[in-house]
Chain A
Amino acid sequence: MAILNLSINKKKYSVDVDPSTPLLWVIRDTIGLKGTKFGCGEGFCGCCTVHINGEAAFSCSTAVKDAVNKEITTLEGMQEKPLRKIIDAWLEQEVSQCGYCQPGQIMSAASLLLKNPKPTDDQIETAMTGNLCRCGTYTRIKKAIHKVIAEGGIK
């Protein structure tokens, strides 16, 4: 166990955990932010996607010690505009069915759009292919991303 300092959604947290604990479980169980989801635990599904210094990362496969002194963003940090435009597009396009994988989908889309406000379809495909959706909502995810791009992005 060790005291680690984390910055999540611009808020500081001090946690006493085993440094090898996956960031996912620190976010969910220790800090109590439930928007980041557990899917597979091995980096195959993307349900647990967060941003670490703006880069999309699988929090189930990132040790918490590797996220210290970095800026972590979760779904809860996407609720204010302009970032929120992604969530609004998701709601407007009625993307979700069960909604469980969508936090991860949104975080992957956000990471892409923050770096590249006008990605090509190939670039979107590369950014989104790590996120599984068992309900099969990919067609709508694509539409929602295009809507955000058409409306000027999230910066």
Chain B
Amino acid sequence: MALTRRDFIKVVSVAGGGLMLKAYMPNFIYSKNKKSEEDFTPAVFIKIDSSNVVTLIISRPEMGQGARTAVAMLLSEELEADWEKIKLEMALAHPDKYGSMTAGGSTTVRMFYTILRKAGATAKDMLLTAAGKKWNIDKSQCFAKNGRVYSASDKKGLSFGELADDASKLPVPDDAPLKNKKDFVLLEKPVHRLDMPEKLAGKPVFGIDFEMPEMIFATVVHSPYVGGKLLDFDSSAADSKLKIFKISNGIAICGDSTWKVFDAKNKIKANWENPEKDLSSDVISNSFKKLGEAGGTLIKEDGNFDDAFKNNSKKLEAEYELPFLAHAPMEAMNCSAYFQNNKIEVWAPTQSPQPVQSSLSQIFKVPIENVFVHSLFSGGGFGRRLNWDYPIEAVEISAELGKPVKVVWNRPDDMQNDFYRPASLHKLAGVINEKDELIGWKHHVISPSIRAQRNPDTDMKQPDAVDGALQLQYVIPNFRIDFSLYKSAVPVGAMRSVYNSQTAFANESFIDEAAVLAGKDPFEFRRKLLPEDSRLRKVLEKAAEISNWNEKLLSGKGRGIACHFCFGSYVSQVVQVSSDASGKIKVEKVFAAVDCGKYVNPDGLRNQIEGGIVFALSAAMQGAITVEGGSIKQKNFDTYEPLRYNQTPEIIEIAIIENDEAPGGMGEPCVPCIAPALCNAIFAATGNRIRKLPVYLKK
């Protein structure tokens, strides 16, 4: 569709009257059919009905990131809607009606910031015009507030609902003005989350809470081995009232309660093929090392690293290794489905409604318009629910039973059947000249590729796995990135900040080591490598300032700093640790400085940063998924344990840089700096340089 900028908001006629607007936006990073600037995708639908309800149809699932509240704020600010009465309706999946519906890549605020404000301003302008016509005055003499339009002389005013019909007959203005920052009543103010009262009332709003009449409860026994296929099974010890049968991904157990089907899992004897029986974390680690020694494919080179390395005497090399990680959201994978009469309906806590819809359509050969995907609230996602493995199981089981089903995984299933954050090895080399300046940087990334695992034809000249290595912000004249693909039998997937959690650990640990070799303060060393007008430099300086970087600490304590740019935002964090007599590390304090451009809900932003710190520390301190004999070893939160209340550091200060830059993401950018800042702090406290995560591997 080729639209011009003039008509990117349109009136849609709506049964029952009222005003409905459809707003288009330019295709963004995740759109597959990006052709030109002229390409627009409908993305936003707002409806004001005659009973005065303002409905925003939201296309992005809510998994705890606060997307619903943020998009409602953007609309309501410009529309001057009654905040208490704004209604959010989660869109059913649709291939192209809403653009990308994926909650991933920290994109919701980035994509919707402008379009929602424009849509709100346009609707308000039409309501003002409609009121002006009624009152025979110019719209400039009318104003809107809390869902009503007033004029200087009309104190009672008219509700949006009373004006909506008339407004819908007006031409759509293309120049409705946006509010000035100083007039904001919602934006950039702390606003309470809209989804929280019902969640804390115990309402059945999460995926796992879904129920419908005649629904059967089900679970699935999955292979205990990576990639293992079912050979045969014996379920004679299980309750004979349960229906137990083979599905493509394992064995389905169906009954009349979750517990009965969970309990039966232990009573089924199954034989599985173990195609990777010699695979272990040590074997993977050795494969990384071999790939590292063999050298990688050159991805990018500025200057000439090898010459710089040859011609200077001060140089360093180091290797950093990271483990697989499980997402482990508190709500385990689950999905409800009903497949009947060539129609599929699913109720899924998902981050990816569209791939769920298209894959179900393909696999079960049902026309896409007959596949209805309801996105329910997720109890955390972190990237796990970008995959559509669990909805497929639910539909397969419903197809077999001819009844609606709810499939729930138990925790070991969830932990052992993830698409893990890839393990990786990073070989870095650096060159320092006689003036103690860093003039050479080489980063060789050895990693699985999420994209290549999905699609083996993926072009590995532009690998996904160098994200965050390639975009290093330091100005270094001889800069080189190499890549080696490790073909992983272990399934890999995107996890909060994706590759940036690995590459930033390598970058920001190595720059610290370079500072030590150059005899410089780690903060000053970084600062000098960043251009004066660099946004990253500003957050780095801010983090140093709020953490009193130059103030001496007692012996046994240390501070570490790191900075990184990803998903449109600049972050610097400082971690302070102490080491006790036995050498045990305690994280005492964390400081964060953030530049994410314009933001929507400052309290939501802070909550993401605080939570991101704990999420990232959990991984850095004690998070690892390990492989032994072709199996994932960790099954539950005893061996894969996020930080607990008593391990949480004091988050002393979060500084948010105020500016007018385009909005950046925040779900992900608050994660990558934590691991390197932690390990740099441990080095400062103890002299011990940690190059392999986690700091404490649970046995």
Q: Which residues of A line the B interface, CB within 8 A? A: 17-18, 21-22, 25, 28-30, 32-42, 44-45, 47, 74-76, 79, 87, 90-91, 94, 96-103, 106, 125, 128-129, 131-142
Contacts and interface: CB of A to CB of B under 8 A. Distances in A.
Interface of B: 63-66, 190, 192-193, 195-197, 199-204, 206, 208-209, 211, 217, 257-260, 262, 328-332, 377-382, 408, 410-411, 603-604, 607-608, 610-615, 618, 636-638, 641-646, 648, 650-651
Dominant secondary structure of chain A at its interface with chain B: loop
Contacts of A140: 607, 610
A125 to B, nearest CB: 5
B63 A98 contact: yes
Contact of A29 (B259, B613, B646, B648): B259
B64 A40 contact: no
A139 B651 contact: yes
A97 B330 contact: no
Contacts of B195: 99
Contacts of A98: 63-64, 329-331, 377-381
B548 to A, nearest CB: 20
A56 to B, nearest CB: 14
Given A129-B645, A134-B382, A87 B200 contact: yes
Contact of A25 (B257, B604, B648): B257
A11 B608 CA distance: 39
Contacts, number: 180
A124 to B, nearest CB: 8
Contact of B330 (A22, A30, A42, A101): A101
A45 B637 contact: yes
A121 B658 CA distance: 35
Nearest to A36: B202
A142 to B, nearest CB: 8
Contacts of A96: 64, 193, 196, 199-200
A136 B615 CA distance: 6
B196 A94 contact: yes
Contacts of B329: 98, 100, 134
B430 to A, nearest CB: 33
Contacts of B613: 136
B418 to A, nearest CB: 13
A36 B451 CA distance: 38
Most A CB contacts (10 A, CB to CB) among B63, B259, B332, B618 go to B259
Most A CB contacts (10 A, CB to CB) among B202, B209, B612 go to B202
Contact of B645 (A25, A100, A102, A125): A125
A41 B382 CA distance: 21
Contact of A34 (B209, B259, B607, B642): B209
A132 B328 CA distance: 11
Contacts of B642: 132-134, 136
